[in-house]
Amino acid sequence: MKTALVTGASSGMGRAIAERLLDDGYRVYVAARGIDRMSDLAALGARPLQMDISKEDDIRAVVDIILAEAGGVDVLVNNAGFGLYGPVEDVGLNEARYQFEVNLFGPARLTQLLLPAMRAKGAGTIVNISSMGGKIYTLLGAWYHATKHALEGWSDSLRLELASFGIRVVVIEPGLIETGFGDVLAEGLVTRSGVGAYATMTQAVAQSTRGAYGQGRGTDPAVIAEVVSKAVHTRRPKTRYVAGKYAKPMIAIRKWFGDRMFDRVIMSQMR
C-alpha cells in the first residue's frame, strides 16, 4: 500500500484530495492545525495529525511519525495555504512574512524532511497546490500572488533537481474553487483597509470577491482532487495542470494579450 500526506486537509481542496486518495487505495495521512476538524476523514480511514505548517516543531513531529509508521511517503500534496489581500501600504511586513511561511517556506521545509526517504526509494510524487494566481495577478493581491509565483518557480527548479532520483514534481493551478477562501479574504480586506486611502478600492474588491463565491458559482473541490489523482497515477505527468472556473481563460489572456490588456480585464470587474 502506497502512502500519501495531504496538508491543509481540514476543509476544501485538501479534504477532497484526501478523500480521493483514500478511494484510490492509499494509506493517507492528513495534517492541519485543527485535528478535530478531520474526524470525518479519520472515519474514512485517514490518519489525522496536528500541524501548523509555519512551525518547525510541528513539521518535524509529523515527519517523525510518518517515518516511524510508514517509512516515508510516496505522494506529498502541499496544499496548506491562505490568501492575504490588502494594499501593500497597509499590510504589515510581519503579516507578509507569515504569508510566505505558510504558502512557501513551510511546504519547502516539509519537503526537505521527506525527501531523503523518497530518494532512498527512487520514486515519489510531490504535488504543489499553487493557483491561477501563480501565473496572473489581481487587485490588492500583491503578497498572495508573490507567494504563489515564488512557489511555482521553486517547484520548477525542484523538478529538475529531483528528476534523476525518480521523483516527480507537479504544480496544480486551481481557478475559483468553492472553499472558504473568498469569505476569509473579503473579511480580512475590510478589517484591514475598509477605511482610509484605499477604502473605495477595498470595498469594491471585497464585494466582487463575495459575489464570486457561493451558491454554486465556483468549481467543486472534487474537480481538483480528480486532477491530483490523475497526476499521481500517470506515468509521465504534466508539469502543470490548470483546472477550475476562470483559470484557463485568465491565464491565457495574461499570456497572449499582455499586461495592459490584463490590467483592463481586472479593473473592469471592480465597477
Provide the annotated active-site residues.
Answer: 144
Q: Is the dihedral angle over the CA atoms 130, 133, 135, 140 positive or is it negative? A: negative
Contact partners, residue 242, CB within 8 Å, separation at least 6: 132, 173, 175, 248, 251
Closest C-alpha among 143, 168, 141 to residue 156: 168
Residue with cell 511517503: 73
Give Rg (Cα) of the chain.
18
Contact 181, 251 (CB under 8 A): no
Closest C-alpha among 49, 13, 58 to residue 28: 49
Which secondary structure element, helix H or strand E, spans residue 29, and what is its range? Answer: strand 27-32
Question: Which DSSP symbol is given to 251?
Answer: H
Kindly report each contact of residues 153-161 with a partner whose C-beta sits within 8 Å and lies 24 or more positions away, as own/partner: 154/104, 154/108, 155/128, 155/130, 156/239, 158/111, 158/126, 159/239
Give one DSSP letter per residue of 199-219, joined into a string. Answer: HHHHHHHHHHHHHHSSTT-SB
